[in-house]
């Protein structure tokens, strides 16, 4: 029997080594508890009628709650128990959620169940989160922080049972869930340097809706790399982190249906793009928006702000960033 180091043990040592407080441990313990509950609800979701659309009634005549709402409620419950979170931003809540404005230490930004088109099939989705810290002695605190201010960011791929988490200046680490529902076996992730394994990931249906330069880039580069697209950022980015290459969701500027135009991009800055950009940076990669600006430098103006995203291996992202800057 092979037994492994648990995530909590890894984190305790990490905090001790860096002379950190226990507050972050309390927060991470809550996040882990939430993820385990979501994982369980998701695996058993189809059986209980929870993978359908909200607004439906199940065979017992009860209102079916959409899995996104279930995941959101679970996370908020556990965050509340910590007493350490000032405010939370969730994809599932239009408004910011005030939790502990006085005693809290952290701001958290999360997407409880990202990759909604996979939900009805029980296929991979993600719980993505980024954490910033209260400015204890500086100016007034505010939750609209750029990704470079995050102290940690991570994602659970559900129901795959993985946690990937990056700590500021301390790398990106992957854990797997074991038979006792503990996340175990820390493995440090660095993007591979050589292009042999690189992959490209984007919604190919959209390729003719991108601006001309991006379409041209795709034409020139697509045959060099394997193409993979799952349709859930956490799952697609999970592959990029180990295989290298690039995930992109460019701005949609040439759609014949004006309702489908997304000149700002589709993904959300604070709990999608910045989260993967942070993990990517700690793994040696890079991420930019439609102007070639590093994602982690973008100062959000709204907590649900959208952005285009190009994330992955540095040479590839830098190559497209040069072209984007020129446009």
Q: Which does 232 bind (CB under 5 to 8 A by kind): ligand F6P, Mn ion, none?
A: ligand F6P
Q: Where are the alpha helices (DSSP H) in 5-149?
A: 7-17, 23-43, 45-48, 67-82
Is residue 232 a contact point for ligand F6P (CB under 6 A)? Answer: yes
Which residue of the chain is nearest Mn ion when measured via CB?
A: 114
Least spacing, CB of residue 249 vs Mn ion, in Å:
11
Q: How many residues bind Mn ion (CB under 5 A)?
A: 2
User: Taking contact as CB under 5 A, which single stretch among the options 15-23, 29-37, 104-112, 198-206 is the one that binds Mn ion?
Assistant: 104-112
* Rounded Cα distance, 296 and 269, in Å: 9
Is residue 231 a contact point for ligand F6P (CB under 6 A)? Answer: yes
DSSP, res 306: E
Least spacing, CB of residue 11 vs Mn ion, in Å:
26
Give the CA distances from residue 227 to residues 82, 223, 282, 285, in Å, rounded to whole numbers and listed in that order: 42, 9, 24, 19
Least spacing, CB of residue 91 vs Mn ion, in Å:
5
Contact mark string toward ligand F6P, 263..302, x via CB under 6 A = ----x-----------------------------------
Q: Which of 15, 190, 203, 293 binds ligand F6P (CB under 6 A)?
A: 203
Considering the complex, state which of residue 7 and residue 271 has its C-beta at the smaller distance from Mn ion.
271
Nearest to 267 by CA among 299, 227, 311, 324: 311
Is residue 114 a contact point for Mn ion (CB under 5 A)? Answer: yes
| Contact of 213 with 324, CB cutoff 8 Å | yes
- For residue 175, the cross-strand partners are 163
* Rounded Cα distance, 324 and 327, in Å: 5
* Rounded Cα distance, 99 and 128, in Å: 19
| Contact of 35 with 156, CB cutoff 8 Å | yes
Contact mark string toward ligand F6P, 104..143, x via CB under 6 A = ----------xxxx--------------------------
Is residue 111 a contact point for Mn ion (CB under 5 A)? Answer: yes
Report CA torsion sign: 214, 218, 219, 220: positive
Report CA torsion sign: 129, 28, 35, 164: positive
Q: Which does 267 bind (CB under 5 to 8 A by kind): Mn ion, ligand F6P, none?
A: ligand F6P
The residues of the shown chain that bind Mn ion, judged by CB under 5 A, are: 111, 114
The residues of the shown chain that bind ligand F6P, judged by CB under 6 A, are: 114-117, 203, 231-233, 236, 267
């Amino acid at each position: 029997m092979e037994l492994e180091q648990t995530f909590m043990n890894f984190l305790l040592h990490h905090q001790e080594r860096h002379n950190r407080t226990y507050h972050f441990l309390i927060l991470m313990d809550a996040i882990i508890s939430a993820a385990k509950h979501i994982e369980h609800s998701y695996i058993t979701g189809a059986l209980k009628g929870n993978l359908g659309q909200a607004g439906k009634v199940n065979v017992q005549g009860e209102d079916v709650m959409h899995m996104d709402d279930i995941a959101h409620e679970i996370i908020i419950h556990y965050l509340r128990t910590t007493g350490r979170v000032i405010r939370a931003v969730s994809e599932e809540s239009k408004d910011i959620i005030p939790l502990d404005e006085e005693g809290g230490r952290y701001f958290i930004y999360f997407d409880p169940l990202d990759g909604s088109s996979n939900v009805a099939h029980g296929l991979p989705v993600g719980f993505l989160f980024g954490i910033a810290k209260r400015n204890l002695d500086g100016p007034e605190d505010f939750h609209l922080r750029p990704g470079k201010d995050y102290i940690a960011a991570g994602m659970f791929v559900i129901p795959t049972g993985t946690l990937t988490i990056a700590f500021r200046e301390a790398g990106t680490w992957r854990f797997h869930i074991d038979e006792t529902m503990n996340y175990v076996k820390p493995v440090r992730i660095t993007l591979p340097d050589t292009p042999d394994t690189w992959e490209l990931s984007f919604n190919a249906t959209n390729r003719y809706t991108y601006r001309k330069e991006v379409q041209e880039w795709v034409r020139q580069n697509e045959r060099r790399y394997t193409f993979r697209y799952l349709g859930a950022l956490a799952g697609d980015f999970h592959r990029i982190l180990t295989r290298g290459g690039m995930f992109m969701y460019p701005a949609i500027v040439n759609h014949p249906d004006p309702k489908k135009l997304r000149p700002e991009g589709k993904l959300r800055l604070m709990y999608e793009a910045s989260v993967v950009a942070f993990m990517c940076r700690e793994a040696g990669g890079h991420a930019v928006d439609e102007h070639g600006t590093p994602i982690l430098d973008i100062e959000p103006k709204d907590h649900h702000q959208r952005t285009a995203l190009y994330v992955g291996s540095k040479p590839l992202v830098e190559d497209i960033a040069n072209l984007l800057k020129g446009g």
